[in-house]
Chains A and B, each alone.
Chain A
Amino acid sequence: MADILIPDALELKLSPKDFQTDQDVRWCPGCGDYSILKQVHTILPQLGLKKENIVFISGIGCSSRFPYYTNTFGMHSIHGRATAVASGLKATRPELSVWIVTGDGDAMSIGGNHFIHLLRRNFDVNILLFNNQIYGLTKGQYSPTSEENKITKSTPYGSVDHPFNPIALALGADATFVARSIDRDPAHLQQMLLRTWKHKGASFLEIYQNCNIYNDGAFEIFTEKATKKENDLFLVHGQPLVFGNLEDKGIRLDGFTPQVVSLTNGYSKDDLMIHDENDINKSMILSRLYEMKSEEYIFPKPFGVFFIRDRSTYEEVMNEQINTSVGKLGKGDLDKLLIGKENWIVE
């Protein structure tokens, strides 16, 4: 990702340490949030941004304590509304680098409405969704991303809810950048954070994050040595979709239907689906890949950038309108506005 390092970054001489605060980090020992915080602190000095031009805005939940631990401007707002707060900030201060830190309850449940609207408007912000598939701060109820039948404190007989697929939801809301990473893969997470930042427009990064208290092991098969290679599919633009312990499996498209094929048994890489980040239809297929059912095989979970597209940002167009209006009518004259069009004089 060397191409996004701008020369100023080195001149600023900031290090990850500069982004730490004097506040005690109060997440539970072993929480996946620690890794995410560390990776964010690692990439921030690489952005070439002054600390004062970065703003982290969060909602409510474990993840939303994030701003307190990052030495930039920050706001710990109210439940579900970080996206709305960030929209107003970005609309008025387009030059700032605005980051939203949210969780699966915050963004998908109470804040679901603002989340989709921010994406369709395409404000140039970075959304980091810490998805642990559980409510942590309220002590263990199921979340809108929890799997069906999940036994939790509020669902002793199993959850009746069908979960959201955040990637598919973001694509459905016309997000212009959609990616997924995971807390236990620092290198991949850093890479995804940098790409999230680099994209101009609303960038959505879902980060699987282990809650070791209420939902421990939820993503284990994607992180444990024994299982991860069989279950993770790393997306690389322009490359065939290959996975497996021996890189011996791939995803092939049969019409619009994906299937897992063996590369040792008749198929070669040339037969596989090539990842195209700019193809919305292929991205949609990948977003649902893991949920696909087959009696013969299990689909892997994709990680990486699903989709990316250039589209004007809300704040660009908004400011353009203002500039056009000033150009056409001249800068607003308050006296003229006060006087209005029709007057009469009383003597």
Chain B
Amino acid sequence: MGVETKILEEVVIKFAGDSGDGMQLTGGQFTNTSALFGNDLGTFPDFPAEIRAPQGTLAGVSGYQLNFGSKEIFTPGDLCDVLIAMNSAALKVNLSNLKSDGIIIANISGFDVKNLKLAGYDKSPIDDGSLEGFNLIKMDVTKLTRDAIEDIPLGVKEKDRCKNMFVLGFLYWMFDRPMENTINFIQSKFSNNEDVREANLRVLKAGYHYGDTTETFTTRFHVEKAKMEPGTYRNIMGNQAVAIGLVAASQRSGLPLFLGSYPITPASDILHELAKYKNFGVRTFQAEDEIAAICSCIGASFGGSLAITTTSGPGMALKAEAMGLAVMLEIPLIICNIQRGGPSTGLPTKTEQSDLMQAIYGRNGECPMPVIAAKSPADCFDAVFEACKISVQHMTPVIFLSDGYIANGAEPWKFPLTSQLDEIKAEFAKPLENNEKFLPYQRDEKLSRPWAVPGTKGLEHRIGGLEKENITGNISYEAQNHEFMVKLREEKVNRISDYIPLQELDNGPEKGELLVVGWGGTYGAIKAAVKELLTEGYKVSHIHLRHLKPFPKNLGEILNNFEKVMIPEINNGQLVKIIRDKFMIPAIPYNKIQGIPIQKTELIVKIKELLQ
């Protein structure tokens, strides 16, 4: 029986299994291999907050969705073409997200009596005909894995840990992918453990050969390289891009990098990543709590370092008072908030854009800070670099917003080289001789004050959180002065709009019926939806905001060019309120608050509705 190869433009695969089944790693490997092959792609890891939720339960299902193609990819995809279900629970959780003619690869031993019961199935869905219409591939991954490494002296538990490699090998066969990348990965990851290394390698190959030699599989799929902008690419995850962006900002400013952070999901990976870069002079300080994390940064910044604190919503709340201090001190500081579902502990591993109000307004007093948001994993690099630039050049703390979705998601990145990156100009106050009086709150045309670091002769001065007199920095409780200073600090932040690029249209006509305004991680879905609608002849445009405070100067003008403005957000409507307030337009919200990204298809439905 011959094997037919079908050419596909785009495929969505969901790897789903128990938290301990290694689905994140399997998905990550398939992603890297596809990226190196030259596909465009988008990924979405989706895992429970529990490290090891009870095995076999619905709560313990960990998923990794990958969308790859020979065309431009903007999202991890809506519905899946292929679902890997390592157990019954994984099938139950993900089945509704599978295309009606999709492929299910089911691990038989994950559908035994115990697993079925844990997932709440009365009968086995892989045997009772209920999956009719889907292309169901049943394989006993557990048994096949054990058989492949029977002679390797490892315990059953350790052997079973290799079963994700069997699935990966099979998928490499099915999608006509080389195994080299994963072979190299296994060799380096397990370089110190021969048995585990050998077992993983053998199981990977066994999976591949299973597809090759078992005559039951008649179709393979091939996804050609994507036609992307020429250049050199690498695969990058959002948090990784933040870390590299921060190192780049440190190098391009000549300022030593200091990270003060307290572990919190989904921001911790930035701390992990930066802790590796000691040879770049990076100092990482794992503080005792969120407050100490930001306060240590204030100390480091006072001393002349590029100081960063990374956190997520609950940590952001704890840092609020110290952010106010940084605003009063007028020193550089970057607060990275990798948003997650809230309030309180909320949904630690799920994505949400619900800290925008907190970022813009969430402090005591009139406390303006610039806010910048990244739109995709690779964009995290540029956005955080720009956050550093604004912070240093305008002497102000800056909030950088990302979210769980782009933090853990990956995409191809046409990375820049050092020479293509802007220089960040840090201006330090010069030493003073002959008892000349230093004026710490003397301002330049940007309204920013000098960065006067300890150790510089003649600059001895005292600053703090109390209201101060402009220029001298002396404490002042004078009525008129306070109003003046509040307005001055606001104007200083607003003036940044003179130094940032004008807002550009991402897609669609410059004027018309409907403008979709997005910010942050909804970019891919909006981009894909608008693109598709434009090819179908609909009149719709898209802008995506990186600068949320201050807004680009031409934003009002753009908004006024459209009859309707729609704002999709993964929250209960936050940017929409700010836009309504600032521009007095009846912007229309589209909100999804389920801890998952907005999908292209639902946006298309909503946009069509508005265009009627």
Query: Are B291 and A84 neighbours in the complex by a CB distance under 8 Å?
Result: yes
Asked if B48 is at the interface of the complex by the 8 Å CB criterion, the answer is: no
Query: Are A331 and B279 neighbours in the complex by a CB distance under 8 Å?
Result: yes
Bound complex: CA A70 to CA B461 (Å):
9
B-side contacts of A21, CB under 8 Å:
462
- Which A residues, 61 to 97, have Cβ-Cβ distances below 8 Å to chain B? 67-68, 70-78, 81, 84-93, 95-96
Query: Are A91 and B285 neighbours in the complex by a CB distance under 8 Å?
Result: yes
- Most A CB within 10 A of own CB, among B236, B278, B418, B475: B278
Q: Which residue of chain B is the closest to A97 with respect to CB atoms?
A: B454
Query: Are A76 and B466 neighbours in the complex by a CB distance under 8 Å?
Result: yes
Bound complex: CA A340 to CA B233 (Å):
10
Partner of A93, one of B225, B304, B466: B304
A-side contacts of B154, CB under 8 Å:
none
Interface majority SS (helix, strand, loop, mixed), chain B:
mixed
Closest chain-A Cβ to B182's Cβ sits at a distance in Å of 12
Partner of A81, one of B258, B292, B463: B292
B-side contacts of A23, CB under 8 Å:
474-475
Bound complex: CA A95 to CA B456 (Å):
13
Q: Which residue of chain A is the closest to B457 with respect to CB atoms?
A: A52
- Which B residues, 279 to 309, have Cβ-Cβ distances below 8 Å to chain A? 279-283, 285, 287-289, 291-292, 295-305, 307
Closest chain-A Cβ to B177's Cβ sits at a distance in Å of 14
Partner of A75, one of B32, B302, B475: B302
Bound complex: CA A340 to CA B36 (Å):
13
- Write out, one digit per residue, whether chain B residues 235-246 have a CB within 8 A of any chain A CB (1) or not (0): 110000000100
Asked if A325 is at the interface of the complex by the 8 Å CB criterion, the answer is: yes
Query: Are B280 and A342 neighbours in the complex by a CB distance under 8 Å?
Result: no
B-side contacts of A71, CB under 8 Å:
460
- Which B residues, 416 to 470, have Cβ-Cβ distances below 8 Å to chain A? 416-418, 453-466
Contact flag A88-B458 (CB < 8 Å), given A117-B288, A332-B277, A334-B251:
no
Closest chain-A Cβ to B173's Cβ sits at a distance in Å of 22
Partner of A334, one of B233, B248, B285, B289: B248
Closest chain-A Cβ to B93's Cβ sits at a distance in Å of 32
A-side contacts of B225, CB under 8 Å:
346
Bound complex: CA A90 to CA B288 (Å):
16
Q: Which residue of chain A is the closest to B227 with respect to CB atoms?
A: A346
Asked if A326 is at the interface of the complex by the 8 Å CB criterion, the answer is: yes
A-side contacts of B227, CB under 8 Å:
346
- Write out, one digit per residue, whether chain A residues 148-179 have a CB within 8 A of any chain B CB (1) or not (0): 00000000000000000000000000000000
Asked if A309 is at the interface of the complex by the 8 Å CB criterion, the answer is: no
Contact flag A89-B303 (CB < 8 Å), given A332-B279, A342-B181, A343-B234:
yes
- Write out, one digit per residue, whether chain B residues 308-349 have a CB within 8 A of any chain A CB (1) or not (0): 000000000000011011000100000000000000000000
Contact flag A91-B300 (CB < 8 Å), given A52-B456, A335-B417, A340-B234:
yes
- Number of A residues, CB within 8 Å of B: 60
Bound complex: CA A321 to CA B276 (Å):
11
- Which A residues, 20 to 54, have Cβ-Cβ distances below 8 Å to chain B? 21, 23, 50-54
Asked if B231 is at the interface of the complex by the 8 Å CB criterion, the answer is: yes
Contact flag A68-B415 (CB < 8 Å), given A51-B460, A92-B305:
no
Bound complex: CA A52 to CA B303 (Å):
12
Asked if A57 is at the interface of the complex by the 8 Å CB criterion, the answer is: yes
Bound complex: CA A77 to CA B466 (Å):
9
Q: Which residue of chain B is the closest to A314 with respect to CB atoms?
A: B285
- Most A CB within 10 A of own CB, among B280, B299, B453: B299
Query: Are A344 and B283 neighbours in the complex by a CB distance under 8 Å?
Result: no
Asked if B565 is at the interface of the complex by the 8 Å CB criterion, the answer is: no
- Write out, one digit per residue, whether chain A residues 236-269 have a CB within 8 A of any chain B CB (1) or not (0): 0000000000000000000000000000000000
Asked if B247 is at the interface of the complex by the 8 Å CB criterion, the answer is: yes
B-side contacts of A88, CB under 8 Å:
258, 260, 285, 295-301, 303, 307
Q: What class of interface size applies to chain B in its complex with A?
A: 35 or more
Bound complex: CA A75 to CA B256 (Å):
21
Query: Are B36 and A84 neighbours in the complex by a CB distance under 8 Å?
Result: no
Bound complex: CA A242 to CA B418 (Å):
69
- Which A residues, 293 to 336, have Cβ-Cβ distances below 8 Å to chain B? 318, 321-322, 324-326, 328-332, 334-335
Partner of B455, one of A96, A318, A346: A96
A-side contacts of B260, CB under 8 Å:
88
Contact flag A117-B256 (CB < 8 Å), given A52-B457, A334-B248:
no
Q: Which residue of chain A is the closest to B475 with respect to CB atoms?
A: A68
Asked if B137 is at the interface of the complex by the 8 Å CB criterion, the answer is: no
A-side contacts of B277, CB under 8 Å:
332, 337
Bound complex: CA A93 to CA B255 (Å):
13
B-side contacts of A55, CB under 8 Å:
454
Query: Are B232 and A114 neighbours in the complex by a CB distance under 8 Å?
Result: no
Closest chain-A Cβ to B455's Cβ sits at a distance in Å of 6
Bound complex: CA A14 to CA B291 (Å):
37
Asked if B151 is at the interface of the complex by the 8 Å CB criterion, the answer is: no
Q: Which residue of chain A is the closest to B235 with respect to CB atoms?
A: A342
Closest chain-B Cβ to A77's Cβ sits at a distance in Å of 6
Bound complex: CA A283 to CA B222 (Å):
75
- Write out, one digit per residue, whether chain B residues 245-268 have a CB within 8 A of any chain A CB (1) or not (0): 001100100001010100000000
Partner of A345, one of B231, B281, B307: B231
Query: Are A92 and B232 neighbours in the complex by a CB distance under 8 Å?
Result: no
A-side contacts of B234, CB under 8 Å:
339-340, 342-344
Asked if B230 is at the interface of the complex by the 8 Å CB criterion, the answer is: yes
Query: Are B247 and A332 neighbours in the complex by a CB distance under 8 Å?
Result: yes
Asked if B35 is at the interface of the complex by the 8 Å CB criterion, the answer is: yes
Query: Are A74 and B300 neighbours in the complex by a CB distance under 8 Å?
Result: no
Query: Are A338 and B228 neighbours in the complex by a CB distance under 8 Å?
Result: no
Closest chain-B Cβ to A117's Cβ sits at a distance in Å of 4
Asked if B229 is at the interface of the complex by the 8 Å CB criterion, the answer is: yes
Query: Are B256 and A92 neighbours in the complex by a CB distance under 8 Å?
Result: yes
Query: Are B475 and A338 neighbours in the complex by a CB distance under 8 Å?
Result: no
Partner of A84, one of B278, B292, B458: B292
A-B contact pairs, 23 of them (CB 8 A): A23-B474, A52-B459, A68-B475, A74-B462, A75-B464, A81-B292, A88-B258, A88-B298, A88-B303, A89-B300, A89-B454, A90-B299, A91-B300, A114-B288, A322-B281, A324-B278, A331-B279, A334-B418, A337-B247, A337-B280, A346-B226, A346-B228, A346-B230
Other CB < 8 Å A-B pairs besides A335-B418, A344-B35, 18 of them? A52-B458, A68-B475, A73-B462, A76-B466, A77-B298, A87-B299, A88-B295, A88-B301, A93-B453, A113-B289, A113-B292, A322-B281, A328-B279, A330-B279, A334-B248, A337-B277, A344-B232, A346-B227
